[in-house]
Amino acid sequence: MTTLHLNANNPDDIARAASLLRAGELVAIPTETVYGLAANALDPAAVAKIFAAKGRPQDNPLIVHVAEPSQALPLVKGFPFTAQRLADAFWPGPLTFILQREDHIPEIVSAGLSTLALRVPAHPAAQVLLRAAGIPLAAPSANRSGSPSPTLASHVLYDLNGKIAAVLDAGSCTVGIESTVLDLTSDTPLLLRPGGVSVEQLEKELGRKIEISPAVAHALENDAPAPSPGMKYKHYAPRAELTLVHGPLEAFIAHAKHVKPDGLLVFDSDEISLDMPMLHYGDCPEQQAQQLFAKLREIDELGWCTAFVRCPAKEGLGLGVYNRLLRAAAFREVFL
């Protein structure tokens, strides 16, 4: 199979992508978070192709994307007041709800769970494509399972060229890490994955605290079900062995000088005088989110086997960056 490289600014290419999706094929699509590998969410055979193309474990659920909130209602057994309030505030946008799945949704989409992950993406090309296709789209990140998520069409093609029908190219993703996932199946909202909408934003909108799953900062047990994508397995990882390093810059430099990893991933403003390769991934959480996955891919391009990473702040969007790095490092952390 030759993977078509389509242009999101070309109406004919949008129509081609929509036609492929309706025919049960896989198309990598741009969203504001990362590129997603889309298939018709109502076609179990098409959804199965996602798992095969990515090498994705069958017990890792998918997120379903729709063009507007009203299209989410037929897919779930209820849309509580909290969901409506947050949808009014953050949809379209990088926020995913976990709700009870309607029976006609194929079980493979939810990895056999009774719930469904849903969001309305804000990317204009994703919006146009969803309306042109006229179907809900199941779409995890468009990469090999476990590797850094793609924020450019070239990342998709590097991982999946020849395994999918097409990629719809709209340039670089603006947020850079995946959506926030919020479980709304009980009275108290439960954060399962931090992302493009922060805990602080959610709590400000709701006027109350939300719970944060322990799995945000810790690995799930091997036999525990994963209610959300990105929770159970080593994720977002380059081939290199990463170590996430906490502490002041001086201690980081001293530790790197002692251990001598192949390279360092640090903040733009870090002043480090070491004869050691370095990559920078921004200073503020927004910059770090936008650059993170591309930098993790660059680590492999440079052939590093080991790398130390300066730990980001854990507030706002930074919690999502920290969560991705923690999984990319397989929970390998050093506290100085």
At residue 232 the predicted structure's pLDDT band, cuts being 50, 70 and 90, is low
pTM of the model: 0.94
pLDDT at 32 over 90: yes
**pLDDT, tens only, 239-269:** 999 999 999 999 999 999 999 999 999 999 9
The closest of 334, 50, 58 to 165, measured between CA atoms, is: 50
pLDDT band at 60 (very low <50, low <70, confident <90, very high): confident
CA distances from 147 to 54, 107, 301 (A): 10, 25, 13
Which positions ≥6 away from 304 have C-beta within 8 Å? Answer: 240, 261, 262, 263, 277
**pLDDT-derived band at 58, boundaries 50, 70, 90:** confident
Q: Domains along the chain?
A: 4-216 (3.90.870.10), 241-335 (3.40.50.11030)
Residue 336, pLDDT score: 95
The average confidence (pLDDT) of the chain is: 95
